[in-house]
Structure 1
Amino acid sequence: MAGESFLVRVTHADPVTTSVKRLRMQAIDGKTLPPASAGSHIILTLKTPNRLLKNAYSLLPSSLDGGTYEVAVLRTEDSRGGSTFVHDALSEGSELTISTPVNLFPINRRARHHVLVAGGIGITPIAAMAEELFRDNRSFELHYCIRNEPNGAFLKDLQARYGERVHLYHSDIGERFGVAKALPQQRIDTHLYVCGPEGMIGAVLNDASALGWLQENLHAERFLSPGGGDPFDVVLRRSDIEVTVGEHESLLEAIERVGVDAPHLCRGGACGQCRCSVVEKDGIIQHRDHYLTQEEREAGDAIMTCVSRLKGQRLELDL
């Protein structure tokens, strides 16, 4: 159940660092790419040699005005093929399908001050937030955690545009962002936004909570890779279809492969749109999302099809 899609052509592809590649895309089917709010992401449909992948990528600041979209993709060693395909196969002139932008990580307009925290490739939505706040003359600060400066994607651009608002932390010399040290006296009308590795996100949110930050003032974006696992069979009761989920395939991808239009949005275990009722199972659900509560996980009657899977042989869904 995806929204509108666009056929686009890559008009520019360049390395940002040794491991990050930027793509600029423009519609080629008579449509105009609409402006996107800061924090938005799109889904890229990637036709790899082995299978069709649909991966979410946050939009960079240049996408705010519409017309063209830009994403930055980190090459990862444990990639299911998506990042490797982007780095090795996509270049200027490549054509692909993308979704309309979706924003699950918006700026809170009622906040008086905004604290932006990014780790690694998590800078992509954070950079767009910084630009939108800068254009609107809003109060903000940006904390950027990087291994070292050569690996800091867009670092020089951020420093040149936002100056002293940008604070750096180099992990290769032991520097670490800490809420208590960096933000000792934040007002109640301050909101914090964090995107980066899961461990960093958890640490920042836990530290902020321990310091008394209101939960509604804390915002995080997580895009999880579905990960692999042992194959298992899935019965789609209402569709009267049975399909085997492959070792390196997500449950959602297997469902889509047999032509069933399953609900989804972020494809990263965060939004809750792909939640599906479990009718029967002969094993344990491996919950890998950040949406279901602990009680819902223990009940075992729901699964997020985009990232979670079964440790067992057979799963029956109300789909």
Structure 2
Amino acid sequence: MRYLIQNIVQHGPYVKEFRMVPADGSRTPDWAPGSHVDIGFRSRSGEEFNNAYSLVGAPGERLRIAVQRESAGRGGSRVLHDEFQPGMEVELSVPVDAFALKRGAVRTVLIAGGIGITPLTSMAHALEAAGHRFELHHLARDPERLVLTKEFEGMRHAAVSTYLTGSGERPDLDTLIGPYTEGSELHACGPVSLLEAIRTRAAVLGWPAAHVHVESFGARTGSEDKPLRLYLRQSDLRLELAPGTSILDAMIAADAFVSYDCKRGECGNCFAEVVSGTPIHRDVCLTPQQRRQGMTTCVSWAAGGDLELDL
């Protein structure tokens, strides 16, 4: 569905918030806390993008997304920052509820890393409206990346803590998470490295995996990645991949038969068995046993320059 960019709000030097309404004047669809939309757009040079962004705030007359400008990656965030203005249109999917808030918890803990605060804003609004107390911990490298703090002003049921990790203020995750008590729910969004640490510490503290819910906004840095020669055994297809390319996207572009969903290393639908090669795992969903057998192709890479998959 086509959406009109109504206005753009700058949050510090790195983040722009896009506020959008249906271009045909119809009603904005309802959506659940934690939802995201897929936004399709084209750069001035003709390159096409389809990126997923979490919805910000509470459901209302407009859909809001906050986009952090990233120097790495394919450049979608840079195009949105540099080329899109109020009055322009983009294509949006219906809101997707893939990171659902678990309601009615005895204790709710929300942990965000940087721009990972975006889906937690809608969860916070829902919890506040329901009168449920919750804890919110927001970690950011510096004050410029500690964005959307006004979303939580005036909330009577929120215990909000912020941490500037770039200045050495690194919180103890065990203290933030705390021992598991029956009926507790933990929601976390941020970089893969933070989510892996949260899941590890939560397990040590007795949290069942079913009560720890995570969503990543990007894989760990791939600055060490080398060009990759990919061979798909069943398809008898050979591909040459440059660093920064998604293995999954390359296979889709080559018309290989693959299944996928989240494209963020969270669902495991793009799992492929590894015939040969050494995967560099960047997902947050596979078990140690699954990682010994294969890899997620959407966010992971391979060391050594050669990878063969049973696809």
> Which TM bucket (shorter chain)?
0.7 to 0.9
Alignment of 1:306 with 2:298, yes or no, is yes
- The structure 2 residue matched to 1:145, chosen from 129, 139, 145, is 139
Alignment of 1:88 with 2:75, yes or no, is no
CA distance in 2, matches of 1:224, 1:130: 22
Aligned to 1:265: 261
Is the 1:123–1:144 Cα contact (8 Å) retained in structure 2? yes
Alignment of 1:7 with 2:2, yes or no, is yes
CA distance in 2, matches of 1:291, 1:38: 21
Alignment of 1:73 with 2:56, yes or no, is no
Is the 1:41–1:102 Cα contact (8 Å) retained in structure 2? yes
Aligned to 2:283: 289
The one-letter amino acid of 1:35's match is D
Evaluate the alpha carbon distance shift between residue 295 and residue 13 of structure 1 in structure 2; reply closer, same or farther with a 3 A threshold.
Answer: same
Is the 1:159–1:166 Cα contact (8 Å) retained in structure 2? no
Evaluate the alpha carbon distance shift between residue 69 and residue 274 of structure 1 in structure 2; reply closer, same or farther with a 3 A threshold.
Answer: farther
Alignment identity in percent?
Answer: 30
Alignment of 1:232 with 2:229, yes or no, is yes
Tell me how many residue pairs correspond in the alignment. 306
Is the 1:44–1:97 Cα contact (8 Å) retained in structure 2? yes
In the superposition, the TM-score normalised over structure 2's length comes to 0.82
- After superposition, what is the alpha-carbon deviation per residue over 1:159-213, rounded to whole angstroms, capped at 9, x for unaligned? 3335762222233553333344456576322212122233333333333333333
Give the deviation of 1:33 after TM superposition.
Answer: 4.3
Give the deviation of 1:221 after TM superposition.
Answer: 1.4
The one-letter amino acid of 1:16's match is H
Is the 1:275–1:304 Cα contact (8 Å) retained in structure 2? yes
- The structure 1 residue matched to 2:248, chosen from 239, 247, 252, is 252
Give the deviation of 1:246 after TM superposition.
Answer: 4.0
The one-letter amino acid of 1:17's match is G
Evaluate the alpha carbon distance shift between residue 104 and residue 256 of structure 1 in structure 2; reply closer, same or farther with a 3 A threshold.
Answer: same
Give the deviation of 1:81 after TM superposition.
Answer: 1.0
- The structure 2 residue matched to 1:121, chosen from 115, 118, 143, is 115
Unaligned runs of 5+ in 1: 1-5
Aligned to 2:203: 209
CA distance in 2, matches of 1:261, 1:135: 45
Give the deviation of 1:60 after TM superposition.
Answer: 0.7
The RMSD of aligned alpha carbons is 3.2
What is the DSSP-based 3-state SS (H/G/I as helix, E as strand, rest coil) of the residue aligned with 1:145?
A: strand
In the superposition, the TM-score normalised over structure 1's length comes to 0.80
What is the DSSP-based 3-state SS (H/G/I as helix, E as strand, rest coil) of the residue aligned with 2:153?
A: helix
CA distance in 2, matches of 1:119, 1:15: 19
Unaligned runs of 5+ in 2: none
